[in-house]
Every structure is written in C-alpha cells, then in structure tokens.
Structure 1
Amino acid sequence: MIHAAIYHGPGDIRVEEVPDPEIEEPTDAVVRITHTAVCGSDLWFYRGHREEMPEGAGVGHEPMGIVEEVGDKVRHVEPGDRVLSPFSISCGECEFCRKGLQTSCVNGYGWGGDLTGAQGEKVRAPHANGTLVKVPERYADDEGVLESLLPLTDVMCTGHHAAVSAGVEAGDTAIVIGDGAVGLCGVLAAKRLGAERVIAMGHHEDRLEIAEEFGATEVISAEGEEAIEAARETTYGGANHVLECVGMESSMETAAEVARPGGTIGYVGVPAGVETTDFVATMFGKNVGLEGGVAPVRRYVDDLMADVLQGTLDPSPVFTKTVDIEGVPEGYEAMDEREAVKVMVKNE
C-alpha cells in the first residue's frame, strides 16, 4: 500500500492508504513520486466550485519522480530514469499530439480519478512514451535543478502558453493579470520572449515582489476600476499583449478593458465563476483577439527545460512553502488562506 491525498468534499483532503499502482497496459510505467505540488486550480474543487469532482478521488497533477517499472511497449524511459510529467496525459501519436495540442489527445486524460493522483507516493503513468519527459542523467540528483524543473509540469508552461497566445515578442509591452503562480510564470515567460515592458497586476504585495524578481518592470497593486485606470494610464491606452492568468469573470473583464485596440489576450486561467460574456462586447468593439486555453505542456516543456538546465530560467521561487506527503492537507489550507503562493510536496 502507498499513501496518497484523497478528496472527501470541499475543504476535506485526507492522506490515506491506497493500493500500489501496477502496470495494466504495455504502454504504462509506474513512477515513484519524489516531488509534486499543490496547484491553484486544485483550489476550485477544494472550495466547492466543482461539483463534478467525486469524493474518494485521488488528487494532484504535477508529478516528478523515478521510473520503477515499465510495460513491454515503453521505449522512451526505463527503470531508474528521473522523469517529470505534464498535467495532461497524452499518447504522442494522434492527430492532436502531432500538431502540438496534446491537451486534446484522443487517448488522453488527467491524473486522478481512476489513477492515483500525483499527490501520492506512486502513480501509474499511461502512455508513458508520449507523456513522461526524461530529466538528463547529469541533473537527476541535483535538488536545485529539480525544484526549478518542477513548475514545468504545469504553471511555467501555462504562463508561457499565455505569453505565446498573446503574441509577445521582443520589444513588446505586456500586461500580466494575476499574481498567482501562473501569473508570476507569465511574467517570466514574457521576459523570456523579449518583452521590453512587463506590467504585473495583482493585489498581494509579497507576490508582486516576486513578479519584480521575475522581471516585471512595473507592478499595479489594485483591483477593479482603479487597476484598469492605472494600467491604461501607464500604457497610454492599453497594451497590445495581455496575459489573463486567473480565470474569473472579473479578470476577463479587466483583460478586455486593458487590451489596446487590435491587441490580443492570451487566456489560460481555468474558468471559474465566468457566467456572462459582457466582456466580449468590449473586445468586439476594439477588435481584440482572444487566444489560449488549456496549456499543451508537452509542446513547450523541452524548450523550457533547456533554459532551466543552462541556468537562464528559474521559476522555483513560486514555491513559498514545502511539505511532505502527510502535510498535503496543510498545503491546501495554506494556499486557500493565501499564506502560500504555491506549495511543493517532497517525498523521501
């Protein structure tokens, strides 16, 4: 038996014993989790905003660990390899995987449910050839590198997807809405793509300090109309590239208001509480484009990993609290109370 975090209803995450995962298909691998995380999107079901989340489900979707066993058809990894995985499982062979849209894989699905969630001691990884990403052997035991790589399982690639979708290029001005882990990684991504000005919008001073560490040239600590007016004033009417990294109706409305006519919003915030489309009228009148959606992590992870390994990219400061597997419920509480930006879970 292994220990894993299990959902038992809003505000109720428990670490329990569950059966060891086993190879069920020849394309499976079993991975012993050494590092994982609690994600901001996990808070939606934790707060009761997702009724479809079944009680008794394993939780967590950001695994990194050591391969223990592989099926007969697994060729890309072998026992002993250090690997990380995107939050979305993908076969690597279908139409959508081939075009870099692995989140729409016809054979894909997410961690948890019938699988052990990634906030556990081990997982069965289906479609291991298409899903698992090997960490080069020379870095496999470098704890600093591993902690810098862990955000590539989700938030760093998601922030990057926002920047790419918004069309950020060298010399541009970009506005990043949201000071959670994805928004902070969006700041990093915009700077990586060469943006000259990156304006981070949020209302938590400690998080905006991280945004400045990540390269934000300006920060706006305000909400609602005050934030919108400040963004418009500093950009002389709005930015051509806006990264929406929250997923609330208010953040979408803000993105529409601060986008310059003819600009593009890259939206990656998991939608929650978006009930109207009033902001669409604002976008329509200004010819503002909307691009984005669920980040295809597998499409981006190799390029971003190369930057981490050469020391030019380090998103690890988004982790402001670390727990072990037994401390996962505490990690949820800390994020729910805004006492942590993102929680790392480390298994011995």
Structure 2
Amino acid sequence: MRGVIMRAPGDIRVENRDEPTILEPTDAIIRLVATCVCGSDLWPYRGAEPADHLAMGHEYVGIVEEIGDQVKTLTVGDFVVGSFVISDNTCEICQAGYQSRCVHAEFVHGTIGTQAERARIPLADGTLVATPGQPDADLIPSLLAASDVLGTGWFAAVAAEAGPGKTVAVVGDGAVGLLAVLAARQLGAERIIAMSRHESRQALAREFGATDIVEQRGDEGVARIKELTGGLGAHSVIEAVGTQESMMQAIRATRPGGHVGYVGVSHDVQLPGDELFFSGVHLHGGPAPVRQYLPELIDLIWRRKINPGKVFDLTLPLDRAADGYRAMDQRRAIKVLLQP
C-alpha cells in the first residue's frame, strides 16, 4: 500500500509500505477514506522535533475491513472515526475522561501512520467510534475534523471553562484555534475574541462564532484583550500554538481567577513561577482526550448542527502529500485534506 513517510525534516515522500495485518485480537484494519496534515506535523517537518522515517498521519476516518476475534463494538463495513491516541477506554484514567493518557496509550503518529491507504488500529473498541450509518460525502471532512482538531479545540474550550456569561479569547488561528472558537460558541460563551492577522482565518472565525478580532500579538495583544474586557482580561483563554510567546500571551490575557486551556504542542515553553503564582490563573491542558468527545461530536455533525469541515481549505490526493505540507508550512492553507 502507499503511505506518507517523513524521511527527514522537509523530506516528505509517498512510499510503498507493507499492508497492515491483524497482530492482536483487539486490532482492526481500516481502509482510510480521508486523512489530513496536522499543524503538529509541521514541528518535525521544520526540524523542531526528530524526523527519521516517520510514518505520518494521526487524523483519520475509514471503513472497517477486518477485525480481531476480541473486537466487540465494530463490524466489517462500519464507517469509523478514530482518535489520534490509541486507548482501551476502560482503564481508570480513561474512565476519568483522559483517554489520551490511557495506561496503554500509543500515539498513531510515527509508527502506525494514517496518511496511507490502510491502517491497523490497536485496541479498536476503545479507539474507534462507528457513525450511525454510511455518511454522505459532504459530512466526511467534518467527521475527519472530529478525529483531532475539533476534539482538541473542544477540550481546550472545556479546559478553559468556556460557557454562558464568559468572555473567551483564543490565541492561535490555525485549525485548532478556529475550532476552539466553534466549541466555545457551542458551549454558550457570550463573547469570543479570536486573535488573528489573516483575513481568511478571521472570516472563518467569525463564521464559527467569534464576536471580536484582535490582530495584535504579545504584550500589545494582551493590552487589547484587557481594553476589550474593562481592564480585567478574559474569563477563559485558549492557547493553541505551543510557543513561549503564545503561552505567556494567554496567561497574561486571563483575568485573576480565570482559566487557560492549553493544547498547542509545547516547544521550549518556560513558565515563570513568580508571575504564575501571583496571576491567580488556572492552567489545564495537554494532549486532548478526543475519544471522550467523539460520540457527542459525531452526533452534532451527523445532525448537521456544526460544520467543522470548513477548516479544510485544500484537498489533494495522497500522492501530493508533499505539496500539502508545503502549503501549510507557508500558511497558504489552514488545513489540508488528503484523499488516499
């Protein structure tokens, strides 16, 4: 089968890989219908993380082709959405709602890789969720978004305690930040401030529910947030980038007693203990437990209550994956959908 391999930073190739097979009785083999390039894939692409023959891809939807003897919740032919972290969904950590930290957690990126034609998904019962039936073609991008970026944006909004009566600020205008705007609106936030300098992303943020746009960054961005909130800062701030600047911007834009939900993959972020101590701000985040939210998100998408698939603004065949990586790296695309 064909699959995307990152041989080294900036070196993306579509190569022949071995067809996946059932290795454990809890495995499932799925034929990928759609996959995509994630913003986090750009970290190794840019050399900020090791990249040595990585099997790329961790966002995926597909059709079950084969199941192991112990798989109970799925049948061959099911259309499924999977989390980017393998989980059993039964351990104490999973039952507490943190499937991304399952005692058997395994990241799909790097070894399994779903930028491919097929994939073996371990612990299929705990990782995959079947849709109510075969989806219409127009729903597939939104279901694909639920596999990571929507679930991550949702977790960010929950971690930031977005809700009725709250002002929410979102640091980061990539796919996760934009879908955090959508999530905050669905959770009932009264005011949502999207921080973005890009006109097309600002337009999508407004479509998803943003009430205000702030173009400034850093201390200027913080000052503007405080100006919009009577000098106090936002109740809830979502950090969806993962840099030192974005994290400090999020913390400083939050009012005392407020909450920061951080989901940007952290790179060289150092928190000043004294400033954090006196800020009175709550911090909560990390790898999103997407599996916790999949049933709810699939239902919202299936009933056409939300359309997160709008974050995909470029669709390419799998063979042109390298073009997709370049487009996202150069910010010519918000998010690239790949069709195996």
Tell me which amino acid in the other structure corresponds to 1:241.
S
Is the counterpart of residue 77 in structure 1 residue 78 in structure 2?
A: no
User: What is the aligned partner in structure 1 of residue 33 from structure 2?
Assistant: 34
8 Å CA contact retained: 1:21, 1:30: yes
User: What is the aligned partner in structure 2 of residue 346 from structure 1?
Assistant: 339
User: What is the aligned partner in structure 2 of residue 218 from structure 1?
Assistant: 212
The CA distance in 1 between the partners of 2:275 and 2:168, in whole Å, is: 19
Following superposition, the deviation at residue 286 of structure 1 comes to 2.3
The CA distance in 2 between the partners of 1:323 and 1:285, in whole Å, is: 48
User: What is the aligned partner in structure 1 of residue 150 from structure 2?
Assistant: 156
User: What is the aligned partner in structure 1 of residue 287 from structure 2?
Assistant: 294
- For residue 101 of structure 2, the aligned residue among 104, 125, 128 is 104
Is the counterpart of residue 66 in structure 1 residue 66 in structure 2?
A: no
Equivalences for 1:113-132 in 2 at 5 Å? 113-115=110-112, 117-132=113-128
Equivalences for 1:325-340 in 2 at 5 Å? 325-340=318-333
Is the counterpart of residue 133 in structure 1 residue 132 in structure 2?
A: no
The CA distance in 1 between the partners of 2:192 and 2:228, in whole Å, is: 11
Is the counterpart of residue 252 in structure 1 residue 247 in structure 2?
A: yes
Deviates more, 1:67-76 or 1:306-315: 306-315
Following superposition, the deviation at residue 97 of structure 1 comes to 1.5
The CA distance in 1 between the partners of 2:131 and 2:339, in whole Å, is: 17
Secondary structure of 2:213's match? strand
Tell me which amino acid in the other structure corresponds to 1:74.
V
The CA distance in 2 between the partners of 1:310 and 1:31, in whole Å, is: 24
> What stretches of structure 2 of length at least 5 have no aligned partner?
none
- For residue 258 of structure 2, the aligned residue among 254, 263, 268 is 263
8 Å CA contact retained: 1:30, 1:124: yes
Deviations 1:62-120 (A, max 9, x none): 011111111111111111111110100101221211221111111120114442x1100
- For residue 161 of structure 2, the aligned residue among 139, 156, 167 is 167
Tell me which amino acid in the other structure corresponds to 2:254.
A
The CA distance in 2 between the partners of 1:91 and 1:315, in whole Å, is: 27
8 Å CA contact retained: 1:203, 1:223: no
Following superposition, the deviation at residue 226 of structure 1 comes to 2.0
8 Å CA contact retained: 1:256, 1:282: no
Tell me which amino acid in the other structure corresponds to 1:103.
S
TM-score (norm: length of structure 1): 0.95
- For residue 273 of structure 1, the aligned residue among 241, 265, 268 is 268
User: What is the aligned partner in structure 2 of residue 20 from structure 1?
Assistant: 19
User: What is the aligned partner in structure 1 of residue 181 from structure 2?
Assistant: 187
User: What is the aligned partner in structure 1 of residue 171 from structure 2?
Assistant: 177
User: What is the aligned partner in structure 2 of residue 239 from structure 1?
Assistant: 234
Number of aligned residue pairs: 339
8 Å CA contact retained: 2:160, 2:284: yes
Moved over 6 A (4+): none
The CA distance in 2 between the partners of 1:123 and 1:188, in whole Å, is: 30
Following superposition, the deviation at residue 233 of structure 1 comes to 0.4
> What stretches of structure 1 of length at least 5 have no aligned partner?
none
Secondary structure of 2:140's match? helix
Superposed CA RMSD:
1.1
Tell me which amino acid in the other structure corresponds to 1:302.
P
Following superposition, the deviation at residue 172 of structure 1 comes to 1.1
Is the counterpart of residue 93 in structure 1 residue 90 in structure 2?
A: yes
Following superposition, the deviation at residue 295 of structure 1 comes to 0.4
The CA distance in 2 between the partners of 1:221 and 1:46, in whole Å, is: 27
Tell me which amino acid in the other structure corresponds to 2:61.
M
The CA distance in 1 between the partners of 2:57 and 2:253, in whole Å, is: 34
The CA distance in 2 between the partners of 1:89 and 1:24, in whole Å, is: 15
Question: % of aligned pairs identical?
Answer: 45
